[in-house]
Protein backbone atom coordinates (compact mmCIF):
# COMPACT_ATOMS: atom_id res chain seq x y z
CA UNK A 1 0.00 0.00 0.00
CA UNK A 2 1.07 3.53 -0.66
CA UNK A 3 2.05 5.68 2.31
CA UNK A 4 -0.02 8.55 0.94
CA UNK A 5 -3.22 6.59 1.54
CA UNK A 6 -2.97 7.29 5.26
CA UNK A 7 -3.80 10.96 4.84
CA UNK A 8 -6.44 10.19 2.23
CA UNK A 9 -8.24 8.00 4.76
CA UNK A 10 -8.17 10.84 7.27
CA UNK A 11 -10.23 12.89 4.83
CA UNK A 12 -12.74 10.03 4.66
CA UNK A 13 -13.28 9.73 8.41
CA UNK A 14 -13.26 13.50 8.93
CA UNK A 15 -16.07 13.91 6.41
CA UNK A 16 -18.17 11.22 8.08
CA UNK A 17 -17.59 12.68 11.54
CA UNK A 18 -18.41 16.24 10.49
CA UNK A 19 -21.66 15.21 8.86
CA UNK A 20 -22.92 12.95 11.63
CA UNK A 21 -21.90 15.21 14.53
CA UNK A 22 -24.69 17.65 13.64
CA UNK A 23 -27.14 14.98 14.88
CA UNK A 24 -25.59 14.62 18.34
CA UNK A 25 -28.21 14.33 21.06
CA UNK A 26 -31.14 14.72 18.68
CA UNK A 27 -32.38 11.15 19.22
CA UNK A 28 -32.17 10.23 15.52
CA UNK A 29 -29.58 7.52 15.10
CA UNK A 30 -30.62 6.54 11.56
CA UNK A 31 -30.29 10.08 10.28
CA UNK A 32 -26.86 10.36 11.90
CA UNK A 33 -25.75 7.10 10.32
CA UNK A 34 -27.09 8.12 6.89
CA UNK A 35 -25.23 11.43 7.09
CA UNK A 36 -21.96 9.69 7.95
CA UNK A 37 -22.37 7.05 5.25
CA UNK A 38 -23.19 9.53 2.49
CA UNK A 39 -20.26 11.79 3.36
CA UNK A 40 -17.84 8.89 3.58
CA UNK A 41 -18.98 7.45 0.24
CA UNK A 42 -18.58 10.81 -1.53
CA UNK A 43 -14.96 11.20 -0.43
CA UNK A 44 -14.10 7.63 -1.42
CA UNK A 45 -14.72 8.59 -5.04
CA UNK A 46 -11.61 10.81 -4.90
CA UNK A 47 -9.19 8.29 -3.33
CA UNK A 48 -6.53 6.80 -5.66
CA UNK A 49 -7.09 3.12 -4.94
CA UNK A 50 -8.91 0.05 -6.18
CA UNK A 51 -10.91 -0.77 -3.08
CA UNK A 52 -13.46 -3.44 -2.31
CA UNK A 53 -15.76 -3.31 0.74
CA UNK A 54 -15.51 -6.45 2.86
CA UNK A 55 -17.13 -4.97 5.98
CA UNK A 56 -19.65 -2.23 5.46
CA UNK A 57 -23.25 -1.19 5.88
CA UNK A 58 -24.68 -4.57 4.86
CA UNK A 59 -25.39 -6.68 1.81
CA UNK A 60 -26.04 -5.10 -1.59
CA UNK A 61 -29.81 -5.59 -1.30
CA UNK A 62 -30.03 -3.91 2.11
CA UNK A 63 -27.57 -1.00 1.84
CA UNK A 64 -27.65 1.69 -0.87
CA UNK A 65 -23.95 2.47 -0.44
CA UNK A 66 -20.83 1.07 1.23
CA UNK A 67 -22.36 -2.37 0.82
CA UNK A 68 -20.25 -5.52 0.94
CA UNK A 69 -18.58 -6.04 -2.43
CA UNK A 70 -18.91 -2.42 -3.55
CA UNK A 71 -15.92 -1.02 -5.41
CA UNK A 72 -14.39 2.17 -4.04
CA UNK A 73 -11.81 4.63 -5.27
CA UNK A 74 -10.78 6.11 -8.59
CA UNK A 75 -9.71 2.76 -10.05
CA UNK A 76 -6.02 3.67 -9.87
CA UNK A 77 -3.53 2.72 -7.21
CA UNK A 78 -3.24 -0.32 -4.94
CA UNK A 79 -5.81 -3.09 -4.64
CA UNK A 80 -7.12 -3.10 -1.09
CA UNK A 81 -9.88 -4.55 1.04
CA UNK A 82 -11.85 -1.95 2.97
CA UNK A 83 -13.66 -2.26 6.31
CA UNK A 84 -15.80 0.71 7.29
CA UNK A 85 -18.11 1.80 10.04
CA UNK A 86 -19.16 5.32 9.04
CA UNK A 87 -20.64 5.82 12.51
CA UNK A 88 -19.47 3.41 15.20
CA UNK A 89 -21.96 4.26 17.92
CA UNK A 90 -25.21 5.43 16.33
CA UNK A 91 -26.94 5.26 19.72
CA UNK A 92 -24.06 7.19 21.25
CA UNK A 93 -24.61 10.08 18.85
CA UNK A 94 -28.38 9.95 19.30
CA UNK A 95 -27.91 10.27 23.07
CA UNK A 96 -24.87 12.58 22.96
CA UNK A 97 -22.67 10.29 25.05
CA UNK A 98 -19.04 9.16 24.76
CA UNK A 99 -16.81 7.50 22.18
CA UNK A 100 -18.67 7.65 18.86
CA UNK A 101 -16.23 7.32 15.97
CA UNK A 102 -16.08 7.36 12.19
CA UNK A 103 -13.84 4.40 11.37
CA UNK A 104 -12.05 2.87 8.39
CA UNK A 105 -9.43 0.16 7.96
CA UNK A 106 -7.73 -1.08 4.82
CA UNK A 107 -5.36 -3.92 4.06
CA UNK A 108 -3.96 -5.61 0.97
CA UNK A 109 -6.53 -7.51 -1.11
CA UNK A 110 -7.62 -10.73 0.55
CA UNK A 111 -6.04 -9.95 3.93
CA UNK A 112 -9.09 -8.83 5.97
CA UNK A 113 -11.50 -11.27 7.60
CA UNK A 114 -14.92 -11.05 5.93
CA UNK A 115 -16.67 -11.17 9.30
CA UNK A 116 -20.42 -11.73 8.99
CA UNK A 117 -22.81 -9.42 10.80
CA UNK A 118 -23.24 -11.45 13.96
CA UNK A 119 -21.94 -11.55 17.50
CA UNK A 120 -18.35 -12.27 18.45
CA UNK A 121 -16.84 -12.98 21.86
CA UNK A 122 -13.78 -10.71 22.17
CA UNK A 123 -10.71 -10.21 24.30
CA UNK A 124 -8.45 -7.22 23.63
CA UNK A 125 -5.26 -5.98 25.31
CA UNK A 126 -2.48 -3.52 24.59
CA UNK A 127 1.17 -4.26 23.79
CA UNK A 128 2.28 -5.02 27.37
CA UNK A 129 -0.04 -8.03 27.65
CA UNK A 130 0.40 -9.53 24.17
CA UNK A 131 0.82 -13.30 24.36
CA UNK A 132 -0.16 -13.38 28.02
CA UNK A 133 -3.96 -13.70 27.76
CA UNK A 134 -6.28 -16.43 26.48
CA UNK A 135 -9.95 -15.97 25.61
CA UNK A 136 -10.63 -19.53 26.81
CA UNK A 137 -8.99 -18.95 30.21
CA UNK A 138 -10.97 -17.94 33.31
CA UNK A 139 -11.54 -14.22 33.77
CA UNK A 140 -9.43 -14.22 36.93
CA UNK A 141 -6.43 -15.71 35.09
CA UNK A 142 -6.58 -13.06 32.37
CA UNK A 143 -6.89 -10.24 34.89
CA UNK A 144 -3.91 -11.59 36.82
CA UNK A 145 -1.90 -11.86 33.60
CA UNK A 146 -2.65 -8.26 32.63
CA UNK A 147 -1.88 -7.02 36.12
CA UNK A 148 1.49 -8.78 36.11
CA UNK A 149 2.31 -7.57 32.58
CA UNK A 150 1.56 -3.95 33.51
CA UNK A 151 3.16 -4.12 36.95
CA UNK A 152 -0.13 -3.43 38.72
CA UNK A 153 -2.19 -4.91 41.50
CA UNK A 154 -5.29 -6.66 40.18
CA UNK A 155 -7.36 -4.07 42.08
CA UNK A 156 -5.86 -1.40 39.81
CA UNK A 157 -6.75 -3.14 36.53
CA UNK A 158 -9.65 -1.60 34.56
CA UNK A 159 -11.74 -3.88 32.36
CA UNK A 160 -14.20 -2.53 29.80
CA UNK A 161 -17.43 -4.44 29.22
CA UNK A 162 -20.58 -3.64 27.25
CA UNK A 163 -23.37 -3.15 29.79
CA UNK A 164 -25.71 -5.82 28.44
CA UNK A 165 -27.74 -8.57 30.17
CA UNK A 166 -25.64 -11.22 28.41
CA UNK A 167 -22.62 -10.06 30.42
CA UNK A 168 -24.10 -10.42 33.91
CA UNK A 169 -21.91 -13.39 34.84
CA UNK A 170 -18.84 -11.81 33.25
CA UNK A 171 -19.36 -8.64 35.29
CA UNK A 172 -19.79 -10.67 38.47
CA UNK A 173 -16.58 -12.59 37.73
CA UNK A 174 -14.57 -9.38 37.20
CA UNK A 175 -15.93 -7.89 40.42
CA UNK A 176 -15.20 -11.08 42.33
CA UNK A 177 -11.60 -10.93 41.09
CA UNK A 178 -11.28 -7.46 42.59
CA UNK A 179 -10.68 -5.56 39.35
CA UNK A 180 -12.47 -2.38 38.38
CA UNK A 181 -14.96 -2.14 35.52
CA UNK A 182 -15.89 0.57 33.06
CA UNK A 183 -19.34 -0.31 31.72
CA UNK A 184 -20.25 1.11 28.32
CA UNK A 185 -23.51 0.95 26.38
CA UNK A 186 -21.96 0.96 22.90
CA UNK A 187 -18.68 1.64 21.14
CA UNK A 188 -16.39 -1.32 21.71
CA UNK A 189 -14.05 -0.36 18.83
CA UNK A 190 -12.97 2.67 20.85
CA UNK A 191 -12.80 0.54 24.00
CA UNK A 192 -10.54 -2.07 22.38
CA UNK A 193 -8.30 0.62 20.92
CA UNK A 194 -8.06 2.32 24.32
CA UNK A 195 -6.34 -0.75 25.80
CA UNK A 196 -3.21 0.22 23.84
CA UNK A 197 -2.96 3.74 25.30
CA UNK A 198 -1.98 4.13 28.96
CA UNK A 199 -3.55 7.59 29.19
CA UNK A 200 -7.05 6.16 28.69
CA UNK A 201 -6.84 4.11 31.88
CA UNK A 202 -8.16 0.98 30.13
CA UNK A 203 -6.31 -2.32 30.47
CA UNK A 204 -8.47 -5.05 28.91
CA UNK A 205 -11.73 -5.51 27.01
CA UNK A 206 -13.97 -8.52 27.59
CA UNK A 207 -17.29 -9.64 26.15
CA UNK A 208 -19.58 -10.17 23.21
CA UNK A 209 -20.13 -7.50 20.58
CA UNK A 210 -20.39 -7.19 16.82
CA UNK A 211 -18.05 -9.28 14.68
CA UNK A 212 -17.45 -6.56 12.06
CA UNK A 213 -16.41 -4.18 14.84
CA UNK A 214 -14.05 -6.90 16.05
CA UNK A 215 -12.19 -6.82 12.74
CA UNK A 216 -11.90 -3.01 12.80
CA UNK A 217 -10.58 -3.11 16.37
CA UNK A 218 -8.13 -5.87 15.46
CA UNK A 219 -6.65 -3.78 12.63
CA UNK A 220 -6.19 -0.88 15.05
CA UNK A 221 -4.47 -3.15 17.56
CA UNK A 222 -2.28 -4.62 14.81
CA UNK A 223 -1.03 -1.11 14.10
CA UNK A 224 -0.55 -0.45 17.81
CA UNK A 225 1.16 -3.74 18.68
CA UNK A 226 -1.76 -4.99 20.77
CA UNK A 227 -3.78 -8.19 20.56
CA UNK A 228 -7.36 -9.23 19.82
CA UNK A 229 -8.77 -12.72 20.17
CA UNK A 230 -12.29 -13.64 19.11
CA UNK A 231 -14.82 -16.43 18.69
CA UNK A 232 -17.88 -16.11 16.45
CA UNK A 233 -21.20 -16.58 18.27
CA UNK A 234 -23.88 -17.45 15.67
CA UNK A 235 -27.44 -17.33 17.00
CA UNK A 236 -29.43 -18.67 14.04
CA UNK A 237 -29.11 -21.39 11.41
CA UNK A 238 -28.58 -18.70 8.79
CA UNK A 239 -25.65 -17.29 10.76
CA UNK A 240 -24.21 -20.78 11.14
CA UNK A 241 -24.44 -21.24 7.37
CA UNK A 242 -22.58 -17.97 6.83
CA UNK A 243 -19.83 -19.19 9.14
CA UNK A 244 -19.64 -22.45 7.19
CA UNK A 245 -19.12 -20.51 3.97
CA UNK A 246 -16.14 -18.89 5.68
CA UNK A 247 -14.80 -22.35 6.52
CA UNK A 248 -15.72 -22.06 10.20
CA UNK A 249 -17.76 -24.98 11.53
CA UNK A 250 -16.11 -25.19 14.93
CA UNK A 251 -17.53 -22.27 16.87
CA UNK A 252 -14.94 -22.75 19.59
CA UNK A 253 -12.26 -21.82 17.06
CA UNK A 254 -10.27 -18.87 18.34
CA UNK A 255 -9.51 -16.16 15.81
CA UNK A 256 -6.12 -14.55 16.30
CA UNK A 257 -4.53 -11.43 14.83
CA UNK A 258 -3.47 -13.04 11.56
CA UNK A 259 -7.02 -14.35 11.09
CA UNK A 260 -8.45 -10.85 11.45
CA UNK A 261 -5.80 -9.13 9.34
CA UNK A 262 -3.11 -11.07 7.51
CA UNK A 263 0.05 -9.74 5.91
CA UNK A 264 2.42 -7.17 7.31
CA UNK A 265 0.56 -3.99 6.41
CA UNK A 266 -2.71 -2.26 7.22
CA UNK A 267 -3.90 1.28 7.79
CA UNK A 268 -6.51 2.36 10.33
CA UNK A 269 -8.11 5.76 10.82
CA UNK A 270 -10.75 7.01 13.25
CA UNK A 271 -12.16 10.49 13.80
CA UNK A 272 -14.00 11.37 17.00
CA UNK A 273 -17.66 12.25 16.57
CA UNK A 274 -18.36 12.69 20.27
CA UNK A 275 -15.75 13.12 23.00
CA UNK A 276 -13.90 10.07 24.27
CA UNK A 277 -10.89 9.06 26.32
CA UNK A 278 -8.63 9.07 23.26
CA UNK A 279 -10.17 11.52 20.80
CA UNK A 280 -12.15 14.73 21.09
CA UNK A 281 -15.44 14.87 19.25
CA UNK A 282 -16.34 17.38 16.56
CA UNK A 283 -16.60 20.95 17.86
CA UNK A 284 -18.49 23.60 15.92
CA UNK A 285 -17.01 27.08 16.37
CA UNK A 286 -19.05 29.54 14.38
CA UNK A 287 -17.71 29.48 10.83
CA UNK A 288 -15.38 26.54 11.45
CA UNK A 289 -15.39 23.01 12.88
CA UNK A 290 -12.60 21.18 14.69
CA UNK A 291 -11.88 17.45 14.42
CA UNK A 292 -9.40 15.07 15.98
CA UNK A 293 -8.26 11.91 14.20
CA UNK A 294 -5.88 9.06 14.87
CA UNK A 295 -4.33 7.35 11.85
CA UNK A 296 -1.84 4.51 12.03
CA UNK A 297 0.00 2.08 9.81
CA UNK A 298 1.06 -1.42 10.80
CA UNK A 299 4.11 -1.69 8.55
CA UNK A 300 5.85 1.39 9.94
CA UNK A 301 4.31 1.38 13.41
CA UNK A 302 3.51 5.07 12.92
CA UNK A 303 0.68 6.57 14.98
CA UNK A 304 -0.40 10.13 14.22
CA UNK A 305 -2.95 12.34 15.97
CA UNK A 306 -4.26 14.97 13.60
CA UNK A 307 -6.18 18.08 14.59
CA UNK A 308 -8.25 19.40 11.73
CA UNK A 309 -9.85 22.80 11.22
CA UNK A 310 -12.61 22.93 8.62
CA UNK A 311 -14.31 25.96 7.10
CA UNK A 312 -18.09 25.61 7.31
CA UNK A 313 -18.48 28.44 4.82
CA UNK A 314 -16.91 26.18 2.19
CA UNK A 315 -18.98 23.18 3.34
CA UNK A 316 -22.54 24.55 3.47
CA UNK A 317 -23.98 21.00 3.54
CA UNK A 318 -22.70 20.68 7.13
CA UNK A 319 -24.89 23.52 8.32
CA UNK A 320 -28.16 21.91 9.47
CA UNK A 321 -31.31 23.85 8.78
The pLDDT tens digits of the residues spanning 8-21 come to: 999 999 999 999 99
Regarding whether 273 and 240 lie in a shared domain, the answer is no
Regarding whether 144 and 102 lie in a shared domain, the answer is no
The answer as to whether 126 is a domain residue is: yes
Regarding whether 287 and 249 lie in a shared domain, the answer is no
Task: Confirm whether residue 166 is marked as ligand binding.
Answer: yes
Regarding whether 146 and 17 lie in a shared domain, the answer is no
Task: Confirm whether residue 25 is marked as ligand binding.
Answer: no
Regarding whether 170 and 98 lie in a shared domain, the answer is no
Q: Is the pLDDT of residue 320 over 70?
A: no
The answer as to whether 69 is a domain residue is: yes
- Provide the sign of the torsion angle of the four alpha carbons 214, 163, 142, 98, taken in this order: positive
Per residue in 130-177, pLDDT (tens digit) is: 999 999 999 999 999 999 999 999 999 999 999 999 999 999 999 999
Q: Helix 5-21 and helix 29-44: axis angle, to 10°? A: 150
C-alpha span between 292 and 39 (Å, rounded): 17
Question: Among residues 218, 242, 260, which one ends one of the domains?
Answer: 260
Task: Confirm whether residue 33 is marked as ligand binding.
Answer: yes
Residue ranges of alpha helices (H) inside 2-154 are 5-21, 29-44, 90-95, 139-149
The answer as to whether 21 is a domain residue is: yes
* CATH number of the domain encompassing residue 93: 3.30.540.10
| C-beta of residue 173 within 8 angstroms of C-beta of residue 140 | yes
Regarding whether 151 and 44 lie in a shared domain, the answer is no
Task: Confirm whether residue 57 is marked as ligand binding.
Answer: yes
Per residue in 36-89, pLDDT (tens digit) is: 999 999 999 999 999 999 999 988 888 899 999 999 999 999 999 999 999 999
**pLDDT, position 62:** 83
Task: Confirm whether residue 165 is marked as ligand binding.
Answer: yes
Regarding whether 209 and 103 lie in a shared domain, the answer is no
Task: Confirm whether residue 90 is marked as ligand binding.
Answer: yes
* CATH number of the domain encompassing residue 161: 3.40.190.90
For residue 52, give its domain range: 4-111+265-311
SS3 193: helix
295 versus 314: the higher-pLDDT residue is 295
User: Region 266-281: what's the mean pLDDT?
Assistant: 98
Q: How many structural domains are present in the chain?
A: 2
Task: Confirm whether residue 239 is marked as ligand binding.
Answer: no
Task: Confirm whether residue 62 is marked as ligand binding.
Answer: no
* pLDDT tier, 319 (very low <50, low <70, confident <90, very high otherwise): very low
**pLDDT, position 316:** 54
**pLDDT, position 169:** 98
User: Exposed (0-12), middle (13-18) or buried (19+): which is 28, by Cβ within 10 Å?
Assistant: middle
User: Exposed (0-12), middle (13-18) or buried (19+): which is 236, by Cβ within 10 Å?
Assistant: exposed
Task: Confirm whether residue 134 is marked as ligand binding.
Answer: no
The answer as to whether 37 is a domain residue is: yes
Regarding whether 145 and 126 lie in a shared domain, the answer is yes
Regarding whether 23 and 88 lie in a shared domain, the answer is yes
Regarding whether 58 and 93 lie in a shared domain, the answer is yes
The answer as to whether 318 is a domain residue is: no
Regarding whether 54 and 127 lie in a shared domain, the answer is no
Question: Among residues 260, 285, 300, which one ends one of the domains?
Answer: 260
**pLDDT, position 1:** 65
Task: Confirm whether residue 85 is marked as ligand binding.
Answer: yes
Task: Confirm whether residue 186 is marked as ligand binding.
Answer: yes
Regarding whether 152 and 92 lie in a shared domain, the answer is no
Per residue in 34-43, pLDDT (tens digit) is: 999 999 999 9
The answer as to whether 11 is a domain residue is: yes
Amino acid sequence: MERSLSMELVRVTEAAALSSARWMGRGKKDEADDAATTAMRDVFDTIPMRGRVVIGEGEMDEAPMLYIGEKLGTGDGPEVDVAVDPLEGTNIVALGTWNALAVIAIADRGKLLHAPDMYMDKLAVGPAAVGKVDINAPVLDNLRAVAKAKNKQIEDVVAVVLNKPRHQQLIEDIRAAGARIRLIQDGDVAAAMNTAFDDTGVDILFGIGGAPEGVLAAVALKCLGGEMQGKLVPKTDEEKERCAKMGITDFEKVLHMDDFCGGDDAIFAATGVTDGELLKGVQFKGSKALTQTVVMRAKSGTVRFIDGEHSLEKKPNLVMK
